[in-house]
Structure 1
């Protein structure tokens, strides 16, 4: 880490998208936090923030740090996006407002209350199925990935055929927010086929008449959104509603296996299941990074970021910033994790976060009723992604209560 007089800020040669860094990003995150409130990443010609205060500021100041120029490395001011931009993630007011309001209503408390009972039943059934096969299994594949793929597509109203495409499509989409490295190339061969399938699922006549998708199209009938916007909003659900939750569930299961005392706390008090998910999202940050673009010369952390420059926000680093959190590297259910930036913050905060919380609550409640202890039995393998903190496998053995 050096300081350049012309920039008057720390300059780093580090590559946050290098495979070894994606495998274990904690050292780089610490280096960025300690270097200063803003760091210049010379490899990509972008500014970076790793401290909570500055990341929170950028997330909440949509006027100064825009999303409409893309939340990845690509700058939509000068480059064409590889797909039509998300109306929620890659748009700012006023274009962002109507889609956000419609989806917020659809995913609101009344909907979640209707889903709660059936999702608890589904979670119990899944846990029973897994435990019938034995007490050793892969927590990442058999629970964390299986449960969202079991309940969320039904809630959206997808047909059964082709649901196996959801995870690879999401994987490529989140990889594409980074540079065109080997991880992007890994999914490039199938992306045309996957996009065709995803786009087809967003059509009104493909969706059931009682799911989130049908409600989005009904909003177009009322004039709340346009008919052109409706399929793009459905696509947003299918893009961001699966992979992020899968990795959040994997994070909380991994956390409990690594902190057996915290699992016992949930068994004694199942109400802690909701706190546990947010603490796991803070601790592991399934979404590690997102970009913004300066809308003007803007000062932050005594640094002026020029108009049009990209800013890489390290959400994972902010969520472990000791300036904000006491003992940040510890997964601790006595902590109040509210305020973490794992779901973003401000007007672009994840609109489906309460759906993810309900999925976690259902799965953890079902597990706590059956499982006394969770122990990791072998090497944990990560699935590398330019944006997501993901798992390939978490081998565990449980004892039953």
Structure 2
């Protein structure tokens, strides 16, 4: 146990309570207002939600390590009860080779190669979803029809895994990210399937799963060249299963919900489609899909004039930092013309998201296809959260889209009846 520090602000709220996970903004504001470093007795941890302190902590991997786990459990003092991420939960030198391999595979070269294919998939998906004549209103669930369907098609294709069984990807990642928090009811709800999902993923991290060309095969080729060890290769592949889809799904869902509730911003994007990438980053700043990560002090670390003692857990609130008025003017305003660079939605420093360029490409391709066909976007019902200890995630975002007048290339597609709310992502997987 960490002894409650004297002269440090204490916030007696549970950041993993259902009320906070449903709407984190009041808690985030209270955390920022309390001070640069705060003690949370609900889980015996230190916490910071101000931009400057979170940014500095993410850079300080030597003093605030990830190797003891980026969740609440402290694997410096207890035996790991779950598999640790070879990227997120490893510090140099163990972190370096896997990171170097993935950074090379997922970088600008891969994005150039994938752009045309991902653009075609996005256009086909949108044309299937919106087959009606100009001026028609079509209602659908933006989570199932777009935010899940598109990433579940393009990224697993690029990874090289078979299409059969892809429905396991989201619940696997959902459980893993829940496990970064306390062992609460959300973890318990996913526990019955955890072994099954983990076994499915492990079976698809082997060399035999992959032919040539996909990221999975290229990771194993890197092992053959000695860039990583054969023991590391399946763990690197597994890291893509864990983080390659779920965060993009909920970033995209949050962005579409933002556009539906801010019609003027959708009109601005239609007028300037080149703003698609900036819009995505503003969406990640405004509704950060990854809300929190833990670090562990490897010695006494000073933050904001106070000290996080050696061995203590520090909870970093990325979402709170991304709305800190000390860093952002009008932080609660969703504005796609803002310069969102510097947001912490993908982390920062040594452990920042290695696949963020691919996520930007996915969303750029899909938004570009949507603005071509959707003249107006608005809510068609109340959005509903999917509670997760780490993610700000969405279960349903019903929207109404007005099909716009457009010059488009006709393609042979199977029409999907309008005004149909899909229940699963697979209904719109093309």
* 1:337 correspondence with 2:340: yes
Structure 2 SS opposite 1:170: helix
Give the equivalent residue in structure 1 for 2:187. Answer: 184
1:306-359 deviation per Cα after TM superposition (whole angstroms, max 9, x unaligned): 000000000000000000000000011121001000000001000000000000
Secondary structure of 1:205's aligned partner: helix
Match of 1:145 in 2: 148
SS in 1 for 2:207: coil
Give the match for residue 71 of structure 1.
70
Contact 1:66 1:292 in 2 (8 A): yes
How far apart in 1 are the matches of 2:224 and 2:81? 29
Q: Is the 8 A contact 2:11 2:34 kept in 1?
A: no
| Structure-2 separation of matches of 1:5 and 1:248 | 36
Q: CA deviation at 1:124?
A: 0.5
Could you tell me which residue of structure 1 aligns to residue 243 of structure 2? 240
Structure 1 unaligned blocks of 5 or more: none
- 1:158 and 1:208 in contact (8 A); partners too: no
State the match for 2:102 in structure 1: 103
**Contact 1:383–1:390 (CA<8 Å) still a contact in 2?**
yes
Instruction: Give yes or no for the alignment of 1:278 onto 2:281.
Output: yes
Asked if 1:346 corresponds to 2:345, the answer is no
For residue 196 of structure 1, report the CA deviation from its aligned partner.
0.3
Identify which range, 367-376 or 129-138, moves more after superposition: 129-138
The 5 Å alignment of 1:154-303 reads 154-303=157-306
Secondary structure of the corresponding residue to residue 14 of structure 2: coil
1:385 aligns with 2:384: no
Pair 1:326 & 2:329 matched: yes
**How far did residue 132 of structure 1 move?**
3.0
Which whole-Å CA distance do the structure 1 matches of 2:79 and 2:129 have between them?
A: 45
Q: 1:73 to 1:270 in 2, by over 3 A?
A: same
**SS in structure 2 opposite 1:12?**
coil
Task: Report the Cα distance in structure 1 between the residues aligned to 2:79 and 2:232, rounded to whole angstroms.
Answer: 19
Is this contact kept in 1: 2:5–2:39, CA < 8 A?
Answer: no
CA 1:272–1:189 in 2, change beyond 3 Å: closer, same or farther? same
Q: Tell me the TM-score normalised to structure 2 length.
A: 0.91
Q: Give the secondary-structure state (helix, strand or coil) at the position aligned to 1:164.
A: helix
Structure 2 CA distance for partners of 1:6 and 1:391, relative to 1, 3 Å: closer
TM-score for both structures, normalised by structure 1: 0.98
> Are the equivalent residues in 2 in contact too, given 1:377–1:397 (CA < 8 A)?
yes
**1:93 is the counterpart of 2:96:** no
Measured at CA, do residues 383 and 161 of structure 1 come closer, stay the same or move farther in structure 2, by a change above 3 Å? same
Shift in Å, 1:7: 2.1
Q: CA deviation at 1:129?
A: 1.3
- Aligned structure 1 segments of 4 or more residues deviating by more than 4 angstroms: none
How far is 1:5 from its partner? 9.1
Alpha-carbon contact 1:159-1:208 (below 8 Å) kept: no
Partner of 1:31: 30
Q: Deviations over 1:43-75 (max 9, x none)?
A: 111000010010001101100110001000000
Tell me the matched-pair count: 398
Match in the other structure for 1:376:
379
SS of the residue aligned with 2:72? coil
Distance in 2 separating the partners of 1:136 and 1:377: 7
1:356 aligns with one of 355, 359, 375? 359
Alignment partners' CA distance in 2, 1:250 and 1:383: 11
